[in-house]
Chain A
Amino acid sequence: MKFPVSGWMWIAPALLLTVPSMSHAQMDFSLDEAETDESADSSESADGSEGAGTDESGPEGVDAEGQAGADFGTGDGDIIGELAAEANKPEQRAEKGPKRTETVEEIYAVQQIYALRINRLELAPSFAFTLNDPYVRRTGLGVALNYWWTNVLALGANFLWYEGLESESDVNFFVRRSTRLAVPLTQWQLGAWLNFTYVPLYGKFAAFRRLIFQWDAYVVGGVGLMRTRPIPVIDPAIREFDYELRVAFNIGLGIRVFITRYLAAFIEFRDYLHLERFENIEVALGDEQREDSSTWFADSPTLRNNATVQVGLTIFFPFRFEYRLPK
């Protein structure tokens, strides 16, 4: 197979252009990992000037790139300065490795919480899948909206769409074939809940003692509605079911990992419970009775327990916030 020359002509310069930026590691040490934004000025000046040492706290007139030395050597009659510049030159030439900047370290008795939640709105799109239903693999697309009225307590709602995303497992087929037993199945369309969220746990992790990130764990729970219907498996020739609303509850545990002060990834275990109405596994005798829709449902509703894992992103609005007290 011949690779078109025109493709290489574009890709080669592109790769060449990307090489310099890949070949130098950037070690951006934020002295206070909770204060990235506030220290942005100093860190940006260091990075943005390619490590030119423009840090305000550095020694006056001396920078890591040796620019000060160049000034000294302009021959303006400052002999001592020129001598000093000459003396500095070998060191400056030797400094072709990592750049050096200086930063004043301040220690605070109590560190500020990395990302405040109070008075912020949280939007959380997610993907969900059930754990405990061996008959139907249920997946869902969800979104949650929470308002944090304290730093640890939120009131919100979440929504999950299931229809068209589920698939029947082969367990049903094997059970039906081997035991002549039909397992009543249901189809879910959507669910919507009002929830409280409480954050009892928060902390931070260090990956390989370098990368530090903040996380919290929360409990969530609430009430809502599910819209479901039985899938006719006992008497599919006659029975048809429409979606109906069911009373639902949920309770769960989650972990949220902050990527920035307004963006986080989360994974949560959620138990969605609802009162399900299954298809009646008995078929009424007689055509008239058989076609009577009141005989199609099981006598009493069954409490369904749907252990669900949800994975998603959380976006906090507004992106910026102010601490109530100074550091």
Chain B
Amino acid sequence: MMTKKILISLLGAGLACVALQSPVPVRAQEVQITGPLAGAPAVRKMRLYRKGRVQLQPFLGFTIRDEFSRSLMFGLQANYHFTEWLGLGFWGGFAGVNLDTQLTKEVDSKGVSTDRNRLSLPSRQGFDSQIATLTWAAAIQATFIPLRGKLALFQKVFSDTDFYIFGGAAFIGLEERADVSDGSVCSAPGQACLDTQTARSSRVAIAPTFGAGLTMYFNEYLGLSVEWRGLPFAWNTSGTDESGSPAGDFPDGQIDSDDRRFQFNQMINIGLVFYLPVHARITD
């Protein structure tokens, strides 16, 4: 208790010292410019790329940090911007291509099925059939644009640029290995067990989505966007029986929702940005 008192006293003394050393109180100051810029706004003739315009953004996306399957997505983002710094919109795409990772290929060629793990891996050659894949994703989201500027490329080409962050709710279409309620079908090798490896089921996961991106403008209505997106949710990416404690009831002999593990899914999207109407408003 005594130590606590001393600590609080020291903290108080420290705050007092900081306060005493702070500069003399400052006051709001209005600078009157008498030169040619007197009365001028901070930025003149600025193009308002977003305010009051619809943004259409077809994109190509790819997931990163995948364990078993990498997805390439093709989709569209559409936003309406109420102001230059705030918009609401929709993002969605289909995972047109799913690529196996090196780990999936390794399991395909070197995995081992035994009596103990046969439900998880009925056959090593069929492992790529049991892994989960992302099929589509959609989100409603708000976009916030705090930074606006320009950049020079090789000191020759100049481009208006803005930085944005976004957040919203996402709906993700998944295809996973179908539930196996009776794991005893895999107590011995056979077709019944192999059939569970290829059986699929679909579901929709709901997750938050958020990210950040950069838009570079080529002209009033066309630009290029690069963004990172996070989609955290739980799914059974490997299609294996994971639930249960190693010291207790593992494996539980079932493939079901208990086998899902939380994953911080991430993707990169590269898109072309079109704004409608094609002419941007310009400030005074």
Contacts and interface: CB of A to CB of B under 8 A. Distances in A.
Interface stretch (B34-42, B89-97, B193-201): B34-42
B107 A175 contact: yes
B27 A50 contact: yes
A202 interface: yes
A102 B152 CA distance: 33
A206 interface: yes
A21 B34 CA distance: 29
Contact of A183 (B11, B106, B149, B163): B106
A217 interface: yes
A105 B42 CA distance: 13
Nearest to A17: B19
B107 A50 contact: no
Interface residues of B, number: 68
Interface string B10-35: 01110110111011111111111111
A29 interface: yes
**Category for how many chain A residues contact B:** 35 or more
A110 B151 CA distance: 15
Interface in A7-35: 7-11, 13-15, 17-18, 20-21, 23-29, 31
B26 A24 contact: yes
A61 interface: no
A51 B111 CA distance: 76
A181 B147 contact: no
12 contacts: A11-B16, A13-B19, A17-B19, A17-B22, A26-B26, A47-B26, A57-B34, A97-B28, A105-B38, A178-B121, A179-B107, A183-B103
Interface of A: 3-4, 6-11, 13-15, 17-18, 20-21, 23-29, 31, 46-47, 50-51, 57, 97-107, 131-132, 134, 170-171, 174-175, 177-181, 183, 200-210, 212, 215, 217, 281, 307
Interface of B: 4-5, 8-9, 11-13, 15-16, 18-20, 22-38, 42-43, 46, 64-67, 85, 103, 106-107, 110-114, 117, 120-121, 124, 127, 146-155, 161, 163, 238, 240-242, 246, 261
Given A99-B30, A134-B65, A170-B261, 18 more contacts: A7-B8, A17-B20, A26-B29, A27-B29, A50-B27, A97-B28, A100-B30, A103-B34, A171-B67, A178-B242, A181-B111, A200-B153, A200-B154, A202-B155, A203-B152, A204-B149, A205-B147, A207-B148
